[in-house]
Chain A
């Protein structure tokens, strides 16, 4: 029986697969047909995960750095060394960089280690992800931090809106489900400046100017309100602050919005009509890299609320996590201010609850993300990092100043070069663990291959460290960690390995009321009150842009693709996806910038001609790629083209990554 059931560990879709294992090695992969979400499909990444799992570019032993040199040592020696160093640190002095592809068990203990052992709330994921912002908006608006429904009824939908990103690239199997729903009759609309494949598969594609998507949602709400299609009775009954929102809508100047967004009124009216008459409506937006910004998510939430699409329970808002366990990472509290289960560090009762559960004091001072720490925290002395999948490391010079960098990793990585202590980790096929996909589906992925003796799961190495630091951590298995998670995280309270083993995932909340999990979050909460999420600030980028537009007439945006995931640190260990990446680079060895045919002809540019992009702070030379996918006035760089980033985008990369609504004003010149 060489084929074993498991879960793809790349993106947050969480497709079911079968790993082919022969003589202790992963030799192939095949889609798992009966999986309720992926139903026997995988994307190009998922089809090549076995290539990654076979690489020998692994971290196979523990290392400590002495006199600048890394020296391989026994695992327990490295741990003892790390413990001795950690003894002298706490709170502000240390920060924790977690991995959104690690299991819930590993992530939960990593967070607990930060808070309970090291008394630090400086805990975050590698890329500051839109997932957290999305959780905040949804918590504020409806009391739940994640997808309000799953995809099980998507085929019955009559309206689907995809806002931003390109799901056909980021989460292809989610896009495939939307495509199938369209074939079954749903009206699918995409809103994105760029003509993506998702847009090609849609009935309607709106292309607002970069930075104006929030305005589009507000305009839609305004149109629906104007047309008196708003059910005031419902709003009165089910929402707390609808009057504030209506007041806000009344102040909107529709003409101005049309002008700023560049969208025709008829298109907006059509979309508004489709949405307000829909019986079962879903909106999707990507989280993680290339997410929407907070204001846009809030505007979208409000639009769904005013049209009554949340009150019916089914359907609603589906944030699509770009990374395997991104949602699970937040469920486990890998954030400066969310404790496990989305309780707040700022809330005294929550802190007391955790002190009781963990039997130790925790720090009440809210922490900061790791990148904020590296940028601002002068007292920072140490960093603990789990599997940094990205190739580019920001704040390298600051990291080099730190006294202690402990890196827990499965694969060789540039970050390991900055570490003083390296602790090996198993690949996800080498350990038991659960992963939570964007639908809230918690899936157990069993160990299929035995790792080398010195390679121990993170929950175990962390337990040893905690013990060495005087904490009573006695976990014998990932299952025991899950048993604790189920006591600590209310949404996970009904989960056990036994239950998970005989299922293909269970969607949280799993508790006494929902022992088999919950498809649709809002369905059973019929007396729930919603809130419109209102934003104080609205310094829109368009205002910002207006000042600069004369000098920097182009709006530059960035995006991602199938193969070029994670700046290639993961994909470059495969054959086929790597080759596909190189095939593109072969044509444009210096990288490329996409420009519309109109602008190209206006500027007299030929395909592949070199151009210089100049922003306020930097410049770069690239080949022009004339593309029907971008509008005049816009430029697009595939962010994955690693070589482009350090030179040009690095300063903006944090902003560019955070949300898709961000763009960089630039000018463009021909070279030579």
Chain B
């Protein structure tokens, strides 16, 4: 491991900025909230900022993206296809461990199956990832229950852990190794791993005191979900509260539902557009048809939590589909984010 002094952070950023567009957490000046955004100015980066409201998912899997352009020639009946290839290399600095894990879930969805998603791959291979250990959790976090934090274990090029005044830097890839060498960072010596462990252990033990919003009970809920021992009334109760806004999927670092549309442009071409989608929508699953209008809503909710927590899904992602970031709880108009659902399931089990 290496040391990165606070005063060297800027050097790291400048170095990255030579080859990459920089993204990282910044604060909105009026609302004070943290957004994982493209940084126009290196000083906007705030490594001490709480977990950003938006996951970095949009950088690899944009809300709205043209994935293909084609022109159909009526006379010759030929289609000319144009690949869209304008993706710039990007560096994501200050990733929280949950979000890095989320990214790895997306990798498995887009790259780890029978078909490799080329557009995603294009985004993905040009990334430089710098994660940042949460030395203290934020109120909404429950990554310790989902095995996804507070420190990243893999997937990064560089990983930062604030130890006292400076950062311990762990290298996770050749790219990362090259970077620390170019920067000439000081080696931290053999005790470094122990120091990092101490910081992480302290963070884990402070969850009770600081991560107060979402006391999850993930493993028991996972059990129940997988075995299907949850009464239909619980799903009805949850379904009644769903406003069908899609937010829970949009803000989830691991949700990968998408929709594809062909949009005719004025210049005669057609863009194939990929947009975010959500299993909370009737049209997504086409599960409609039942003539109890609320029933499908319950089923769709049930499906989402199954996707996030059941064993079978976890096997697919090689980890639970939830990385414990707590975002779906904050954006949900119905107050049925994942942590609350887990609470309802717990109440059902314990009869509280």
Where the two chains meet, the residues of A that have a C-beta atom closer than 8 Å to any C-beta of B are 1-3, 5, 16, 18, 20, 27-35, 39-44, 47, 50-51, 54, 56, 168, 172-173, 175-176, 179-180, 183, 197, 200-201, 502-504, 562, 575-576, 579-580, 582-584, 586-587, 607, 625-629
A20-B58, A33-B330 as given contacts; A44 in contact with B244, CB under 8 Å: yes
B324 shortest CB reach to chain A, Å? 18
Could you say which residues of chain A place their CB within 8 Å of the CB of B265?
A: 56
A41-B331, A580-B281, A584-B288 as given contacts; A1 in contact with B37, CB under 8 Å: yes
Could you say which residues of chain B place their CB within 8 Å of the CB of A201?
A: 240-241
**In the complex, what residue of chain B is closest to A180 when comparing beta carbons?**
B335
Could you say which residues of chain B place their CB within 8 Å of the CB of A18?
A: 28, 35, 54
Could you say which residues of chain A place their CB within 8 Å of the CB of B333?
A: 41, 43, 172-173, 175-176, 179
**In the complex, what residue of chain A is closest to B242 when comparing beta carbons?**
A197
Where the two chains meet, the residues of B that have a C-beta atom closer than 8 Å to any C-beta of A are 26, 28, 30-33, 35, 37-40, 44, 53-54, 58, 62-64, 240-241, 243-247, 250, 259, 261, 263, 265-266, 273, 275, 277, 281-283, 286, 288-289, 291-294, 330-335
A51 to B259 Cα, complex, angstroms:
13
Could you say which residues of chain B place their CB within 8 Å of the CB of A31?
A: 53, 247, 331
Could you say which residues of chain A place their CB within 8 Å of the CB of B332?
A: 41
Contact pick for B291, options A35, A42, A625, CB 8 Å:
A625
Given A30-B53, A50-B63, A629-B293, list of 18 further CB < 8 A pairs?
A1-B26, A1-B39, A3-B37, A5-B30, A29-B63, A31-B331, A32-B33, A33-B53, A34-B30, A44-B243, A47-B245, A47-B246, A51-B64, A172-B333, A579-B259, A579-B283, A607-B291, A628-B293
**In the complex, what residue of chain B is closest to A583 when comparing beta carbons?**
B283
Residue contact B283 to A43, C-beta cutoff 8 Å: no
A3-B37, A40-B330 as given contacts; A32 in contact with B31, CB under 8 Å: yes
Question: How many A-B contacts are there with CB distance less than 8 Å?
Answer: 144
A5 to B294 Cα, complex, angstroms:
35
A462 to B244 Cα, complex, angstroms:
41
A18-B35, A51-B64, A172-B245 as given contacts; A503 in contact with B30, CB under 8 Å: yes
- 28 residue pairs of the A-B complex, CB under 8 angstroms, read A1-B37, A1-B38, A1-B39, A1-B44, A5-B28, A18-B54, A28-B58, A28-B63, A30-B35, A30-B53, A30-B54, A31-B331, A32-B33, A35-B31, A40-B33, A47-B246, A173-B333, A176-B243, A176-B333, A179-B333, A180-B335, A183-B335, A575-B259, A575-B273, A580-B282, A583-B288, A584-B282, A628-B293
Residue contact A34 to B32, C-beta cutoff 8 Å: yes
A18-B35, A176-B333, A503-B30 as given contacts; A562 in contact with B244, CB under 8 Å: yes
**In the complex, what residue of chain B is closest to A200 when comparing beta carbons?**
B240
A33-B53, A34-B28 as given contacts; A47 in contact with B247, CB under 8 Å: yes
B119 shortest CB reach to chain A, Å? 15
Residue contact B64 to A54, C-beta cutoff 8 Å: yes
**In the complex, what residue of chain B is closest to A35 when comparing beta carbons?**
B31
A659 shortest CB reach to chain B, Å? 25
B interface: dominant SS:
loop
A579-B283, A582-B283 as given contacts; A47 in contact with B244, CB under 8 Å: no
Could you say which residues of chain A place their CB within 8 Å of the CB of B266?
A: 56
A20-B58, A33-B31 as given contacts; A27 in contact with B63, CB under 8 Å: yes
Residue contact A628 to B292, C-beta cutoff 8 Å: yes
A176 to B250 Cα, complex, angstroms:
18
**In the complex, what residue of chain A is closest to B292 when comparing beta carbons?**
A628
Residue contact B63 to A40, C-beta cutoff 8 Å: no
B342 shortest CB reach to chain A, Å? 16
A235 shortest CB reach to chain B, Å? 39
A2-B38, A172-B243, A576-B281 as given contacts; A587 in contact with B335, CB under 8 Å: no
B332 shortest CB reach to chain A, Å? 7
Contact pick for A51, options B39, B44, B53, B275, CB 8 Å:
B275
Residue contact A20 to B31, C-beta cutoff 8 Å: no
A206 to B244 Cα, complex, angstroms:
25
Could you say which residues of chain A place their CB within 8 Å of the CB of B335?
A: 176, 179-180, 183
Could you say which residues of chain A place their CB within 8 Å of the CB of B293?
A: 627-629
Could you say which residues of chain B place their CB within 8 Å of the CB of A40?
A: 33, 53, 330-331
Residue contact B241 to A179, C-beta cutoff 8 Å: yes
A51-B275, A579-B259 as given contacts; A43 in contact with B245, CB under 8 Å: yes
Could you say which residues of chain A place their CB within 8 Å of the CB of B330?
A: 33, 39-40
**In the complex, what residue of chain B is closest to A56 when comparing beta carbons?**
B266
A176-B243, A583-B286 as given contacts; A576 in contact with B64, CB under 8 Å: no
A502 to B28 Cα, complex, angstroms:
11
Could you say which residues of chain B place their CB within 8 Å of the CB of A47?
A: 245-247, 250
Could you say which residues of chain A place their CB within 8 Å of the CB of B64?
A: 27-28, 50-51, 54
Could you say which residues of chain A place their CB within 8 Å of the CB of B241?
A: 179, 201
Contact pick for B283, options A56, A175, A200, A580, CB 8 Å:
A580
A480 to B240 Cα, complex, angstroms:
48
Could you say which residues of chain B place their CB within 8 Å of the CB of A50?
A: 63-64
Contact pick for B334, options A28, A176, A628, CB 8 Å:
A176
**In the complex, what residue of chain B is closest to A501 when comparing beta carbons?**
B30
**In the complex, what residue of chain A is closest to B297 when comparing beta carbons?**
A197
A214 to B316 Cα, complex, angstroms:
57
A200 to B240 Cα, complex, angstroms:
7
B241 shortest CB reach to chain A, Å? 7
A200 to B53 Cα, complex, angstroms:
30
B63 shortest CB reach to chain A, Å? 3
A607 to B291 Cα, complex, angstroms:
8
A393 to B194 Cα, complex, angstroms:
73
Could you say which residues of chain A place their CB within 8 Å of the CB of B291?
A: 607, 625-627
Residue contact A5 to B31, C-beta cutoff 8 Å: yes
Could you say which residues of chain B place their CB within 8 Å of the CB of A56?
A: 263, 265-266
B336 shortest CB reach to chain A, Å? 10
Could you say which residues of chain A place their CB within 8 Å of the CB of B240?
A: 197, 200-201
A625 to B293 Cα, complex, angstroms:
10
Contact pick for B246, options A1, A35, A576, CB 8 Å:
A576
Most A CB contacts (10 A, CB to CB) among B32, B261, B293 go to B293
A33-B330, A56-B265, A583-B288 as given contacts; A168 in contact with B243, CB under 8 Å: yes
B340 shortest CB reach to chain A, Å? 10
Most A CB contacts (10 A, CB to CB) among B62, B282, B330, B333 go to B333
**In the complex, what residue of chain B is closest to A60 when comparing beta carbons?**
B266
**In the complex, what residue of chain A is closest to B278 when comparing beta carbons?**
A576
Residue contact B259 to A3, C-beta cutoff 8 Å: no
A27 to B62 Cα, complex, angstroms:
8
A503 shortest CB reach to chain B, Å? 7
**In the complex, what residue of chain B is closest to A34 when comparing beta carbons?**
B31
A50 to B335 Cα, complex, angstroms:
25
A219 to B26 Cα, complex, angstroms:
56
Contact pick for A587, options B39, B243, B288, CB 8 Å:
B288
Could you say which residues of chain B place their CB within 8 Å of the CB of A39?
A: 330
Could you say which residues of chain B place their CB within 8 Å of the CB of A29?
A: 63
A27 to B37 Cα, complex, angstroms:
14
Could you say which residues of chain A place their CB within 8 Å of the CB of B283?
A: 576, 579-580, 582-583
